[in-house]
Amino acid sequence: MTEDDARNALLVRAFELAPADLANWSGDDRAWASRAAAEVEGASAPTDAFVARRARLAAERLAETLY
């Protein structure tokens, strides 16, 4: 996992832990990010690759919804 991937993971985690009324990130968004990362990385992907991909996809989606 790169430094950028770790930064994205922390960003997404902050949105996931924020109160629902303050965050632009829903349970459906979380499920989408996990599903999309699993489709790209595959079922046997190492955990760090899955987390990095999920964080990248989620950060991109967050950027789209915030701007």
Rounded CA gap, 8 and 13, in Å? 8
HEC assignment per residue over the chain: CCHHHHHHHHHHHHHHHCCCCCCCCCHHHHHHHHHHHHHHHCCCCCHHHHHHHHHHHHHHHHHHHHC
Q: Is the pLDDT of residue 48 over 80?
A: yes
Query: Using alpha carbons only, what angle is made at residue 52 by residues 49 and 54, rounded to the nearest 5 degrees?
Result: 105
Give the tens place of pLDDT for each residue, 2-46: 999 999 999 999 999 998 777 788 899 999 999 999 999 998 999
